[in-house]
Amino acid sequence: MGSGQEHGRDPSLREGKKYSTPSLRIRALAATIRFSFLAPFMKKPVSRVLIINDEPLVLKEFVKGLNAAARSLDNPLGITFTGVTTAREALAAIEEDGDLQAVVVDDKLYILNQKNAKKETSALELVRRITRFRPELDVYILIAQEHEDEIVDTLFAEAVDGYFYREERDYRGMYRILNAQIQERSRTPFYDQLKNYVWMAKDSWHTPGHSSGESLRDSPWVNDFYDFMGEHVFDGDLSVSVKMLDSLMEPTGVIAEAQTVAAKAFGARRTFFATNGTSTSNKVIFQTLLAPGEKLLLDRNCHKSVHHGVVLSGGHPIYLDSSVNAKYSLYGPVPKKTILSAIRKHPDAQALILTSCTYDGLRYDLAPIVEEAHRKGIKVIVDEAWYGFARFHPAFRPTALEAGADYATQSTHKVLSAFSQASMIHVNDPGFNEHLFRENFNMHTSTSPQYSMIASLDVARKQAVMEGYKLLSRALALSRELRAQINSTGVFRVLELEELLPDEAKRDNIRLDPTKVTVDISSCGYTVEDLQRELFDRYNIQVEKSTFNTLTLLLTIGTTRSKVSRLYDALMRIAREGRAPRRLYRFPEIPGFTKLRFLPRDAFYCGGELVPLVNDKDGIKRELLGRACADQIVPYPPGIPVLVPGQIITREILQYLVGLLRSQKRVELHGIVYDGYLPCLRVLKPAEEKGLRRID
């Protein structure tokens, strides 16, 4: 609606646009007919506005007048008005009503606790409480005209979007302003422009080669791909030659506008769209903040992109060992005392990066860590790949940015409604060097970005702002139901925070994201591989990840009650098989970090040589002891590097790797090189070591 289209019709048809070919005219007409047919069946939004006024008669008049205006004027967002007389009722309504989009607060006092008339809150305090609880809501104030000067300045220091004069009672005017504000928040600048361009049905004399799918649609060999993917996948796959769609590498138009709107939504000073995932987002930040040789404090359990970023930036990593729950082979947060000790020991570090929440849903108490890092002048980066929705429900906050982090990277595609690889970089760094950031961003960004991916980020932001609270409330309710149902099987058991947390992190105020559900499967009589196969082949269920005795289930805003029911049914059927528990192979614990002899970048870019892991008698190769590794060696699971470039190889590490290779349990070992059937490590040659600067 906001883009000027009626019921999905092509605006160019209404304007009598002349198409250059009959083919394009027919396609546009077909699209118009299809969308006109579907429009009556598409769900319409519901938007409620809450009026708070402690005079019942005045409140009734306001609600009646505003609803009358909403009925008589254009109302594409389904706006209706409701009212309460106390702040207590208001806060309850804001908590319960996921369709609430705006609040109008009278500037008088409101009683929070009707049994105690002395306990009052002003409009200012109520506004603060509303915006802390649901920062996405639009907030307006009703004021008396004679008090304008003394009230407006104070209120506008808070998150207030505007004000109305109480005496005017201009309900149609109030409605128009509120309608416009909610429509502005629901606007998708880039997606709207992309749709507009597609409806124009321009002749394409530019890339991509499929030319809006023309090369595929009539092909007897590959038209099935066109039919399977759908025409708009190809219509929306456009070239940077289309200037009205802006440039991701130097945005000044609709992409810049979409990023600005996203920054406001996620509580950032600046937001950047990334089309190659959080993996590249982390690398961009590292190369912006770190010069070769500068120190970085990092969780050893960080995503592999962080370790790759260390190599690319030339940084000097100070690795912090994660806490370990050996019983379930789960790697948790770095203990707070370890982090604070590292900050004090390395005040010359440029940055600290942590992952919050972890894959298993464990999230740091970030505020004291950020405060200590900032006291030493250290920037804080938080990888929120699994936590990009947290801003939109108080059960998940504070976010990293709210805790004071300078940078947060989020995989919008993992937990919101964006396409795979679509991520965001949020910046709150007061010393942000935009030019240097842009140079590094462009170094990693394709000059031919996927525009559908950018549009999905725009739409994911809109959905999070307009209905994120409602959908996350549903996800939390489904999580509670699913946990109870799994526990009721008597065989499968959900692990709660106390069981997930390693001992060394139990006093660190760690919290659990309830949308990550870890299930103990040790009593079901299946190995974890066999159980996953049974769920997939027999019940059509694919889970997120596993350890030797757990499964991790991920609930998102797309999880439905029917999915929960099907999973419960599958687990209950398996539980009723009554299989005897099997002995499950436990992964050996990853050896502690040894030490770096050389910077990872220096070691990685050496040619090195391949040395076998084992000798002729199948024992460990002694020639590897004390050598510097040139690659990152990552066993998966758990996905934590046992060696990084420049790290010293010890007997314990070799025994661990050889043990994994001999295990009957299939483990991927990323970074191992096979010379025929012989597993080898790439290590630095003695001559290469002599040419490098040692840091140990």
Q: Decide if pLDDT at 587 tops 70.
A: yes
Averaged pLDDT, 331-357: 95
User: What integer pLDDT is reported at residue 27 of this predicted model?
Assistant: 52
Q: What angle do CA 679, 684, 689 make, to 5 degrees?
A: 165
DSSP-assigned states of every residue in 430-484: TT--HHHHHHHHHHHS-SS--HHHHHHHHHHHHHHHHHHHHHHHHHHHHHHHHHH
Confidence of residue 31 (pLDDT cuts 50, 70, 90): low
User: What integer pLDDT is reported at residue 18 of this predicted model?
Assistant: 41
DSSP, res 654: H
Percent of the chain with pLDDT over 70: 89
The mean pLDDT value of the chain amounts to 88
CATH dotted code for 47-186: 3.40.50.2300
**H/E segment holding residue 331:** strand 330-331
User: What integer pLDDT is reported at residue 337 of this predicted model?
Assistant: 96
Q: Decide if pLDDT at 10 tops 90.
A: no
Pick from 392-406, 432-446, 637-651, 661-675: least confident: 661-675
CB burial of 443-474 (b: ≥16 within 10 Å; e: otherwise) equals eebeeebbbbbbbbbbbbbbbbbbbbbbbbbb
Confidence of residue 682 (pLDDT cuts 50, 70, 90): very high
Q: Decide if pLDDT at 118 tops 60.
A: no
- Lookup: tokens for 613: 């892991």
Confidence of residue 5 (pLDDT cuts 50, 70, 90): very low
Q: Decide if pLDDT at 668 tops 90.
A: no
Contact criterion met (CB below 8 Å) for 165 and 146: no
Confidence of residue 492 (pLDDT cuts 50, 70, 90): very high
Report, at the CATH architecture level, how domain 468-575 is classified: Alpha-Beta Complex (3.90)
CATH dotted code for 243-465: 3.40.640.10
Confidence of residue 239 (pLDDT cuts 50, 70, 90): confident
- 527-570 pLDDT, tens digit per residue, is 998 999 999 999 999 998 888 899 999 999 999 999 999 999 99
> Which carries the bigger pLDDT value, residue 304 or residue 485?
485
Q: Decide if pLDDT at 58 tops 70.
A: yes
Phi, psi of 629 (to 5 degrees): -70, 150
47-186 and 243-465 in the same fold: no
Q: Decide if pLDDT at 30 tops 90.
A: no
> Which carries the bigger pLDDT value, residue 179 or residue 42?
179
Averaged pLDDT, 352-371: 95
Most confident of 18-32, 119-133, 487-501: 487-501
- 388-419 pLDDT, tens digit per residue, is 999 999 999 999 999 999 999 999 999 999 99
User: What integer pLDDT is reported at residue 119 of this predicted model?
Assistant: 45
Q: Decide if pLDDT at 593 tops 70.
A: yes
Contact criterion met (CB below 8 Å) for 51 and 35: no
- Lookup: tokens for 355: 């992952």
> Which carries the bigger pLDDT value, residue 114 or residue 277?
277
Pairing relation of β-strands 79-84 and 47-52? parallel
- CATH topology assigned to domain 600-690: Ornithine Decarboxylase; Chain A, domain 4 (3.90.100)
Q: Decide if pLDDT at 32 tops 60.
A: no
Averaged pLDDT, 317-344: 93
The neighbour count for residue 397, using CB atoms within 10 Å, is 15
Confidence of residue 255 (pLDDT cuts 50, 70, 90): very high
Pick from 44-53, 300-309, 485-494: least confident: 300-309
User: What integer pLDDT is reported at residue 13 of this predicted model?
Assistant: 37
Averaged pLDDT, 180-206: 90
The answer to whether the Cα torsion of 262, 264, 266, 271 is positive or negative is positive
**Domain boundary assignment for the chain:** 47-186, 243-465, 468-575, 600-690
Averaged pLDDT, 269-296: 94
Q: Pick left, alpha or beta for residue 521 (phi over 0 → left; psi -120 to 50 → alpha; otherwise beta).
A: alpha
Confidence of residue 89 (pLDDT cuts 50, 70, 90): very high
Dihedral of the alpha carbons of 67, 70, 75, 79, in degrees to the nearest 10 = -30
User: What integer pLDDT is reported at residue 635 of this predicted model?
Assistant: 85
The terminus-to-terminus CA distance of the chain in angstroms comes to 63
DSSP-assigned states of every residue in 212-237: TTHHHHT-TTTHHHHHHH-HHHHHT-
Q: Decide if pLDDT at 7 tops 50.
A: no
Confidence of residue 16 (pLDDT cuts 50, 70, 90): very low
Confidence of residue 3 (pLDDT cuts 50, 70, 90): very low
Contact criterion met (CB below 8 Å) for 621 and 661: no
Q: Decide if pLDDT at 161 tops 80.
A: yes
Confidence of residue 157 (pLDDT cuts 50, 70, 90): low
- 283-294 pLDDT, tens digit per residue, is 999 999 999 999
Averaged pLDDT, 156-168: 79
Instruction: Confirm whether pTM is higher than 0.75.
Output: yes
Confidence of residue 632 (pLDDT cuts 50, 70, 90): very high
Place of tokens 């970030």: 366
Please tell me the distance from the alpha carbon of residue 637 to that of residue 341, in angstroms, as a whole number.
Answer: 29
Please tell me the distance from the alpha carbon of residue 440 to that of residue 284, in angstroms, as a whole number.
Answer: 6
Averaged pLDDT, 351-355: 96
Averaged pLDDT, 273-297: 94
Q: Decide if pLDDT at 614 tops 60.
A: yes
Please tell me the distance from the alpha carbon of residue 475 to that of residue 496, in angstroms, as a whole number.
Answer: 17
Pairing relation of β-strands 47-52 and 550-554? unpaired
Percent of the chain with pLDDT over 90: 67
> Which carries the bigger pLDDT value, residue 6 or residue 641?
641
User: What integer pLDDT is reported at residue 111 of this predicted model?
Assistant: 43
- 214-231 pLDDT, tens digit per residue, is 888 899 999 999 899 998
